[in-house]
């Protein structure tokens, strides 16, 4: 029988257990000592595009506007005398009249009777004055011969002066009535188009009441509403074409450009005088194309234009070769080039491949495109 060795058995039991614990400890240390691996972002892809450089060029510029046709000057016609009946109305709205033409005839029969009475008073005053002057001459002759006192001459002189004053008063009354009779014939103060009539036959006309409105010299103009960004480009005398779908078109010229801008709409007004009336009438809506001439502007190829959210713009490439969409306002354009606001000379805009770009995309620029030359519209 073999005896158990206590020390040997203890060693044989504890040693494997210690070795196992040590292995686990080392394994745990190895697990915690490993560093987590970070994933690298994939390299950003870039698209090859063709670009062109923005240049400053002079292109023919046409400024479009719309507005209302109005009279250059509308003259009201009223009655200078009142209480008389209109016995004839000689013109209608839309007719062209000449200066001095009788528009309305008022009943002046009473005025003419008063005029005859005043003329008779003038004749009587003339006879009285003639008699007083003859008496004054005789009184002077008698005074010179010593047959008449000075007081009698003074009386004759006073009678002559009174008669002269009465004659002057009667003549003034005649003049007044003559003027009132003339005012009973209401005449056109200027030549032009009758735009409004407010009187009818048989109407009792009051003094100062408006009877007609006349467009002086039949001159019309368009009150064209212009964006504030275009006002500085307009000058008086610039040619324009005024159009209406109903009556066609006529030529015209800018008469003046108002200095004020509506703070709500940001629109100013340019008054465009029509060369002739044509079929236009006050109150009609019309459009105008104003030839502003060749003006310097930032110009880029027309092919660079894109529309995002119904607004024109271009992709501009920055120094880090990133494309950014920038809104612009079109000033003038033709098939090859477009003048626009919102760009600076020397900037690069994408011409080829712009339709596939997004905001901030990296791009590779191909061989530079030659500068665009101005072309006739």
Predicted pLDDT at 336:
83
Which residues does 205 contact at the CB level (< 8 Å), separation at least 6? 79, 82, 83, 84, 85, 86, 104, 106, 199, 211
* Domains contained in the chain, CATH given: 48-58+296-365 (2.40.420.20), 64-72+218-294 (2.40.30.170), 73-107+185-217 (2.40.50.100), 108-183 (1.10.287)
**Closest of 76, 91, 341, 84 to residue 212, by C-alpha:** 76
Which residue blocks in 287-333 are alpha helix, DSSP H? none
Extract the tokens encoding 129.
């004055």
Q: Is the pTM of this model over 0.75?
A: no
Predicted pLDDT at 368:
53
| Residue 187 main-chain phi, psi, to 5 deg | -110, 160
Which residues does 70 contact at the CB level (< 8 Å), separation at least 6? 220, 221, 222, 223, 282, 283
pLDDT digits (tens), the chain, 377 positions: 444 444 444 444 444 444 444 443 434 444 444 445 544 444 455 788 889 999 988 777 888 899 999 999 999 999 998 899 999 999 999 899 999 999 999 999 999 999 999 999 999 999 999 999 898 888 888 888 888 888 888 888 999 999 999 999 999 999 999 999 999 999 999 999 999 999 999 999 999 899 999 999 999 999 999 988 888 888 999 999 999 988 899 999 999 998 889 889 889 999 999 999 888 988 999 999 999 887 788 899 998 999 988 889 999 999 888 999 999 988 777 778 888 888 989 999 999 888 888 888 898 888 655 545 444 44
**CA geometry: angle 233, 242, 262, nearest 5 deg:** 50
Strands 285-301 and 55-71: antiparallel
Token match 């880029």: residue?
300
Which residue blocks in the chain are alpha helix, DSSP H? 6-33, 109-145, 150-183, 228-231
């Amino acid at each position: 029988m073999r005896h158990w060795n206590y020390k040997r058995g203890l060693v044989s039991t504890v040693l494997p257990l210690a070795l196992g614990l040590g292995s686990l400890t080392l394994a745990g240390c190895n697990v915690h000592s490993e560093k987590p691996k970070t994933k690298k972002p994939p390299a950003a892809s870039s698209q090859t595009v063709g670009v062109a450089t923005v240049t400053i060029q002079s292109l023919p510029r046409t400024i479009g506007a719309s507005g209302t046709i109005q009279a250059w000057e509308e003259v009201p016609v009223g009655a200078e005398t009142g209480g008389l009946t209109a016995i004839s109305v000689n013109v209608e709205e839309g007719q062209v009249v000449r200066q001095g033409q009788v528009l309305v005839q008022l009943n002046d029969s009473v005025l003419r009777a008063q005029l005859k009475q005043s003329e008779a008073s003038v004749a009587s005053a003339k006879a009285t004055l003639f008699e007083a002057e003859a008496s004054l001459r005789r009184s002077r002759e008698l005074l010179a011969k010593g047959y008449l006192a000075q007081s009698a001459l003074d009386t004759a002189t006073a009678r002559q002066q009174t008669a002269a004053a009465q004659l002057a008063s009667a003549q003034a009354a005649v003049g007044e009535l003559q003027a009132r009779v003339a005012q009973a014939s209401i005449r056109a103060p200027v030549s032009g188009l009758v735009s409004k009539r407010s009187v009818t036959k048989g109407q009792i006309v009051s003094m100062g009441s408006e009877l007609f409105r006349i467009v002086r010299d039949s001159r019309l103009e368009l009150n064209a509403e212009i964006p504030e960004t275009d006002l500085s480009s307009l000058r008086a005398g610039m040619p324009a074409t005024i159009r209406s779908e109903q009556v066609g078109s006529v030529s015209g010229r800018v008469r003046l450009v108002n200095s004020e801008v509506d703070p709500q709409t940001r629109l100013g007004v340019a008054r465009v005088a029509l060369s002739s009336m044509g079929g236009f009438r006050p109150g009609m809506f019309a459009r105008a194309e104003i030839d502003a001439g060749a003006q310097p502007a930032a110009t880029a190829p027309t092919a660079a234009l894109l529309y995002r959210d119904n607004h024109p713009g271009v992709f501009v490439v920055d120094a880090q070769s990133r494309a950014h969409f920038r809104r612009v306002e079109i000033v003038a354009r033709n098939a090859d080039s477009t003048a626009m606001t919102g760009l600076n000379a020397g900037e690069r805009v994408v011409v080829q491949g712009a339709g596939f770009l997004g905001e901030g995309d990296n791009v590779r620029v191909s061989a530079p495109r030659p500068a665009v030359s101005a072309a006739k519209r």
